[in-house]
Structure 1
Amino acid sequence: MIETHAHIYDDQFDEDRDDMLKRAFDAGVKQIWMPNCDHETINGMLALENQYPDVCLPMIGVHPCYIKENYEQELYIVENLLSRSHLRPFPMIGEIGIDFYWDLNFVPQQEEAFIAQLRLAKKYNLPICIHSRNSKNGELNAIVRCIELIEQFGWSDLRGIFHCFSGNLEEAQRVIGLNFLLGIGGVVTFKNGGMDKVLPSVDLKYIVLETDAPYLAPVPHRGKRNEVAYIELVARRIAELKQVSFQEVVQQTTENALHLIRK
C-alpha cells in the first residue's frame, strides 16, 4: 500500500515514531508521502526522508491553514526550494488549497497562495495535493471553489489528489474530470461520512489511500491518534463498498499513486 498523506513528522509521534512506522511497514505500507504545512515543518519532514530514503517522500507547499500575514515569505521559501529541485527533488506540491472551516480572515490570501502554487506546479510539472475543507455550516464549499479556480485559469494539464475527499458524487465527477484523484481516508469508515453514497459509482482507478495521520482516525479508533498502519482499515472498507477484494484495492490504488508521481 502507498500512504499518500500522513504528517508523520508531527510531535504527536515524538515518543514512538519508529515503532509507529514499523507497524505501518508490517501492515504492508511501502511508501509514505508527507505533506508540508509551512517553513517550520520542512526540517522534520526532510529528516524523515533522510532516515527512510525512497520510503518517506516529502511534498513542499504551504497549507491553507498556515496562510497568514507572512504568506508571501512562505511562498518564497517554497519556490526557492523548488528552484533547487535538481539538488533535492520534491515529487509533489502540497498540501495547498482552501480552508473555510477554521479562519475566514485570510481566505483572499489563501486563494492567492493557491493560485501561486498552481503556477509552480505547472512550471515544474509536478502533481499537487489539494486541501479543501468546507465551512462548519456547509454553506462555503471549498471543493467547488478549488475546482473553480483551476477551471478559471484553464489549467487542464494539472494533476494531483483532492486529499481527504468528502464531497458528493457530482463533486467527485468534477474532480475526476479535471484529471485528479480522490484521496480516501478514515472518513470512509464513518457511519455518516457519506462515502457509501459516492465510492460505489467511482472507478478504483481514480482512488488513492491516505490516513492524514495523526488526524481523522478510522473506526474503531475514531477520536484517538491516527497512524499509518490504520490505512489497512481504509482499504478494507473501500473493498466492501466497491464489492472487490482487498488485494484489488491495494494493487489498483498503488498503481494510481505511482503513476501520478512518475508522469
Structure 2
Amino acid sequence: MSTQQALDGRVAIVTGASRGIGAATARALSSAGAAVVLAARDADALHALAAEIEATRHERLRVVAGDALDRATIDVVLPGHTAVLSALGATTRARTTIYSRGTANLCRSMTAAGVRRLVCLSFGALDSGAGTPAAQRLVTRLIIRPPHRHAYADMRRMEDELAADDRVDWTVVRAPMLTNGPHTGAYRFTHDGDRPLDRPTQISRADLADFVLGHLDDHALFRRRVSLSY
C-alpha cells in the first residue's frame, strides 16, 4: 500500500508546524492525502505555510495559532483526530519546559479525546551510541550539548515521562543534524530494542518527515525510541 493510500481519510495535527521539521511533516502529510491541522505559536508563519500548501490544491487544511503550554488550545483541536505529530521546539537557549510540559498537555488532551497515536521529535545528541566515532562523541559532549543543555534536559524529561505513560502509543524519533536536503528515502534507523545506530551523521528534514509518515502505523515502533540517520 502506498503512503498516499495509507493516509487517505486520516486526520492529523502537527504541533510546532510553523517551521523546520514541523513544516516539512505538514507538507508531507498533506501530499499523502491526510487532513492536517497546523498548530504553533507563530500565526503569521502558519498562515504562510497554509497558503503554500493550499496552492497545491490541498483543501483539507486548518490553521490553529496557540501555545502547547496552554492545554485549552489543545483541547479545542484534538477531537476527531487520529494521530498527533509533535515538533515542539524551544525558541531560546534559556531554561524551558516546552518539550516536557507541552507533551504532557498533549497526552492528557489525547486521552480525553480518545486519540492514542503520538510521534514526538527529539535529538540524537541525547545519547551517543557505541557506533558513534570517538571524535564525534567528543564534539557532541563538549561543543553541541553545552549551549543547548536546557533544551536537552527538557527533552530527556519528556522522553522519561512518555516511557512511564501507557495512555498513548508513542514513538520518539531521535535525529542527528538536520539539513534542508532533498527527499532520498535512503536512510537507516534502529530503535532502543536493537543495537545502537552505527556512525549517525545527518538527515534531511524531508527524509525525516518521510520516515514519520511511513511508520505512523508501525506497531513495532510503538513505545520505542528510534534513531535515524543516513
TM-score when normalising by structure 1:
0.38
TM-score when normalising by structure 2:
0.43
Q: Which has the higher strand share?
A: 2
Q: Which has the higher helix share?
A: 1
